Amino acid sequence: MTEQTPRTASLRAARRRRAEELARDQAWSASRRQLYAAGLTRAELRANVRAKRWQLVGRHVVVVHTGPMALDTTLWAAQLSGGPRARLDGASALIAAGLRGFDVDRHRVSVPRGARVFRDTVVDVRQTRRWRTDDLVGGGGPPRTRPEVAAVRGALWARSDRQAALLLTMVVQQGVVPADRIGLALLQVKRDRRLTFVIDVVTDLLGGVRSLAELDFARECRRRGIPEPTRQVVRRGKDGRYYLDVVWEEWGVVVEVDGIQHALAQEVVADALRHNDVTLDNLTVLRLPVLGLRVAADEFFAQIERALADAGCTELGPAA
């Protein structure tokens, strides 16, 4: 008769310590596959969970403590939930890269076409046709897609245009990845239902927004039945000539279209001086951020219509 393998308390404790050492390098997370490979049995895993030493995260991952989970633990658990070939992607990869203030309902994990998809309620695991081995970021932390690629994918996968524009803007403003690298990554995308919108937003973030934004503004005026203004009107101030983006001269209303570059320190002072000069000429000046044109156009154009109506404009007709 074959002698059974001894399962003394000391052996079980040794295996538990080995599992915890494995998980330490993954923010205290480990997959069931990893734990079984380290020598733990299914019964031992269940026993440690029942004893409230460890906690389960979804179906496939164990966290080797029962306290609150830190962000890095949550991210590791999400990546491990997707299986051995999985990587964090989209907004989740950006959060792992340092993005703050952007929340996700479930972390997104990508696997290549043909890979087994480990279904789980706590993570969104999907196959992607855009999988490339060189898109994997190096360094510490859970395996994840490079920030510029993740930014493009996160925008394309967003629930709405508003969320897509917000994500891209936050990524650039927080310095997670510069806009030019996002633009290069965007060149790899050949088709997507939101591709045109994302190209427009990235163009805005690159700073080449003025002509594009003014064209968008003119289209919106025509669509909403607002008299089309004069664009790029020259004024002369104490420091020389400057341009007003759009002007309704008859009613004394000006709209300044602010691109991302207007948040820079050197632009803030010049913009403020120009704004004050125009206001002193008894003109009404409204500011329209390009991002506002993308995600809150109705609210901004309601203000423009009100300013024109208050100035006596009677040409506000139905939308074209």
Would the pLDDT of 1 be above 50?
no
* pLDDT recorded at residue 113: 84
pLDDT in tens, 128-151: 877 787 888 877 889 999 999 999
Give the list of residues 6+ apart from residue 211 with CB closer than 8 angstroms, or none.
none
What does the pLDDT average to over 274-284?
Answer: 66
Cα angle 218, 219, 220; round to 5: 90
Task: Measure Cα distances from 64 to 35, 70, 221, 296 in Å.
Answer: 11, 13, 59, 45
The reported pLDDT for the residue numbered 264 is 44
Spatial contact of 111 and 117, defined as CB atoms under 8 Å apart: yes
> Per-residue pLDDT for 157 more than 90?
yes
Cα–Cα distance list, 214 to 257, 274, 292, 293 (Å): 7, 18, 13, 10
Whether CATH 2.30.40.10 fits 210-310: no
pLDDT band at 2 (very low <50, low <70, confident <90, very high): very low
- Average pLDDT, whole number, for the chain? 82
Cα–Cα distance between 317 and 313 in angstroms, integer?
A: 10
Q: Order across the sheet with 61-63: list the strands.
A: 29-31, 61-63, 55-57
Q: What's 173's DSSP letter? A: H
Q: pLDDT digits over 207-254, tens only?
A: 644 445 666 777 788 888 998 887 666 666 555 566 677 888 889 998
Residue among 100, 247, 249, 77 at smallest CA distance from 167 = 100
Instruction: Round to whole Å and give the CA distance between 138 and 123.
Output: 22
Tell me what pLDDT residue 57 has: 92
